Amino acid sequence: MHLQSLTLTNVRQFDQRTFKFQPGFNLLIGENGAGKTTILRGLLAALGSTQQMGRRPRLEDNDIRLRSRLAEISAVICHSNNTVEAFQLQKTLWEPAKRSAKRGNLPLILLYSSNEAICSAMKMKSARRLRKFYSDSFRRHEEFLYSSENNSSPGTAIATDRQFGNSNSVRKFVNKVLSTFSPGMSKFYWRFEPYECSLVHDESAEKKTPVDSEIQKQARAFAMRWFDEHQPRRKRPFDWPDQTKVVLTPASSERRRGDRDLPQLRDIWKDIPVSSADRERLSSYSLEVKLTPRIMIQRKIGTLSLSQLSDGEQRLFSLFVDIARQLSIKNPNEKIGFGKAIVLIDEIDVHLHPKWQRRIVPALEDLLPNCQFIATTHSPFVIQATPRHQITPIDPKLSTAHLDGGNSIEDIAEDIQGVSVPQRSTRAEKLSDAAKEYFTLLEMRAADAQQVTPDELRTAERSYREASEPFTSDPALHALLKVLAMENKAQ
């Protein structure tokens, strides 16, 4: 199943345009404002389910082309048996959008927008610790990878076998993602870490006044900070068990030989900023710590978690794993990464080094072979890495016929993206033009002083001097220009 074509009628800048797509990878190129994002949003609006749309609006009044009352999006899907099926979405001004009654067998549609911080992976940096259960996409991705061989949905109980997350298919998938972009990141292992905790009253303890709810809230937050602060200080990390939770009890304060090296409650509560009475009351509570599997990546500089990687590394890992996770939910019987979907990626090059921009297209095709990708880009490196027949210019006047896979970045920037003389910066171009004009006027004046007025020469000299300043600190050149300027004034 793949998207065969999309027709936009009276949608934003498009009066009526039909775009054709093929299985595999498709790349949309064009200037800002050309309509690349509009095409992706139109696809999602026409084919996406309510769950896939999320909070995104399907089609609004301001999406209707000016001086029009009706906008329409039509998408044609080609099924695996070569039958085709059309889906329409219509929006009349001041009325709700309407979809075609026949929905058929809709494909899985995934949209990754550059301005939405891919799968909320970046948003987790500013999220509150106690809300990470809902917002930390890395945790969901890691739980999925750890439990994927059991065909369990994310959020279900995690298997307790340490080797489970290291199954061959999962390890192969993660290794390929990591090593494709950073060969030094191919080695990883699993480590369970706490992400939330709660107080549990010890029934066997003496009856005491319950701890106030605000103190409980403060204690939970303090415990999580304590874990974060003390973990890096230790030569060896805490030996959390491979399970979804562990209970630290007051009775476990005395560590026995052979026991796991876990935090002790007395050490945690020792410095909590509460009254001695509240600290005493806390001693009758156990601490239930919820655990989640984390991928720890071994690099030359040391071991890092996913959240410690760069934005580009986070975005890449999050993109690949989230697609695989969504495929697994939709196609639970498929091997990891082998499900089918139509994946829309806006600005696929965002946060990526040029070296990675060249690798992203073949990596997606290799790791997710049954998906159809429709992506947008401004990067000549992504264009260079994409075969000509997979590139669709938004501007119908633009041709990619001369792309043969051997084009240089300069050729692509100039011929496809309309950048004049990409080998030189705008400032260098400005200097070249100013110098040409100034020295031409000097030659003309030398031949015939009447051809060039002093004002024209002074203006050209000033423009050349200003344009040359960012490129040289040679005082001799500036002195020469000033002498010439003084001579011109004298004449």
Query: Which of 414, 417, 420, 404 lies closest to 378 in space, CA to CA?
Result: 417
Location of structure tokens 């100039």:
414
Write the single-letter amino acid at 263: P
Tell me, what's the pLDDT at 440?
Answer: 84
Q: Both tokens of residue 300?
A: 């030359």
Mean pLDDT score of the chain: 77
336 near 173, Cβ under 8 Å? yes
**d(C-alpha 301, C-alpha 293), whole Å:** 22
20 near 95, Cβ under 8 Å? no
> Of 298-302, 305-309, 382-386, 414-418, which range is least confident?
414-418
Residue 134 phi, psi (nearest 5): -100, -25
Q: How far is CA 50 from CA 53, 56, 466, in A?
A: 5, 9, 58
Tell me, what's the pLDDT at 117?
Answer: 40
Confidence check: pLDDT of 123 > 50 = no
Confidence check: pLDDT of 135 > 90 = no
Q: Which pLDDT band holds residue 485 (cuts at 50, 70, 90)?
A: low
**d(C-alpha 329, C-alpha 399), whole Å:** 40
Q: Identify the three-state secondary structure at position 79.
A: coil
Q: Identify the three-state secondary structure at position 236.
A: coil
Tell me, what's the pLDDT at 19?
Answer: 93
When pLDDT is averaged across residues 328-335 and rounded to a whole number, the result is: 80
Confidence check: pLDDT of 423 > 70 = no
Query: Which of 109, 174, 183, 179 lies closest to 142 in space, CA to CA?
Result: 174
169 near 353, Cβ under 8 Å? no
Nearest-5° angle of CA 264, CA 265, CA 269? Answer: 125
Q: Both tokens of residue 148?
A: 């994927």
Return the number of other C-beta atoms located less than 10 Å from residue 67's C-beta. Answer: 6
Q: Which pLDDT band holds residue 477 (cuts at 50, 70, 90)?
A: low
Find how far residue 429's CA is from the centre of its chain: 34
Confidence check: pLDDT of 225 > 50 = yes
Q: Both tokens of residue 310?
A: 């760069």
Confidence check: pLDDT of 480 > 50 = yes
When pLDDT is averaged across residues 197-209 and rounded to a whole number, the result is: 72
Tell me, what's the pLDDT at 162?
Answer: 39
244 near 291, Cβ under 8 Å? yes
Tell me, what's the pLDDT at 221?
Answer: 92
Q: Which pLDDT band holds residue 373 (cuts at 50, 70, 90)?
A: very high
Q: Would strands 372-377 and 25-29 be described as parallel, antiparallel, or unpaired?
A: parallel
When pLDDT is averaged across residues 434-461 and rounded to a whole number, the result is: 80
Confidence check: pLDDT of 116 > 70 = no
170 near 219, Cβ under 8 Å? no
Confidence check: pLDDT of 410 > 90 = no
**How does pLDDT run across 448-465, given as a tens digit for each residue?**
877 888 888 888 878 877
Q: Would strands 109-112 and 342-345 be described as parallel, antiparallel, or unpaired?
A: parallel
**d(C-alpha 242, C-alpha 157), whole Å:** 11
59 near 425, Cβ under 8 Å? no
When pLDDT is averaged across residues 109-119 and rounded to a whole number, the result is: 66
**How does pLDDT run across 148-191, given as a tens digit for each residue?**
544 444 443 444 433 434 456 777 777 788 777 777 665 777 78
State whether CATH 3.40.50.300 applies to domain 2-116+336-416. Answer: yes
Q: Which pLDDT band holds residue 253 (cuts at 50, 70, 90)?
A: low
Q: What is the DSSP letter of 77?
A: E
Return the number of other C-beta atoms located less than 10 Å from residue 258's C-beta. Answer: 5
Q: What is the DSSP letter of 415?
A: I
When pLDDT is averaged across residues 29-44 and rounded to a whole number, the result is: 88
> Of 6-20, 36-50, 175-189, which range is least confident?
175-189
Tell me, what's the pLDDT at 128?
Answer: 41
Confidence check: pLDDT of 82 > 80 = yes
When pLDDT is averaged across residues 414-433 and rounded to a whole number, the result is: 64
Q: Percent of the chain having pLDDT more than 90?
A: 16
Query: Which of 281, 287, 298 lies closest to 262 in space, CA to CA?
Result: 287
Q: What is the CA radius of gyration of the chain?
A: 31
**d(C-alpha 360, C-alpha 352), whole Å:** 9
Most confident region among 40-54, 125-139, 250-264 by mean pLDDT: 40-54
When pLDDT is averaged across residues 300-321 and rounded to a whole number, the result is: 81
**d(C-alpha 267, C-alpha 230), whole Å:** 11
Tell me, what's the pLDDT at 473?
Answer: 55
**How does pLDDT run across 376-392, given as a tens digit for each residue?**
998 888 888 888 889 88
pTM summary value: 0.70
**d(C-alpha 29, C-alpha 26), whole Å:** 10
When pLDDT is averaged across residues 27-47 and rounded to a whole number, the result is: 88
Burial (CB < 10 A; 0-12, 13-18, 19+), residue 51, is exposed
Instruction: For the chain, give every domain's residue range.
Output: 2-116+336-416, 426-490
Query: Which of 149, 488, 476 lies closest to 332 in space, CA to CA?
Result: 149
Tell me, what's the pLDDT at 318?
Answer: 81
Tell me, what's the pLDDT at 4?
Answer: 93
When pLDDT is averaged across residues 56-72 and rounded to a whole number, the result is: 83
What residues have CB less than 8 Å from 414, skipping those under 6 apart? 420, 421, 422
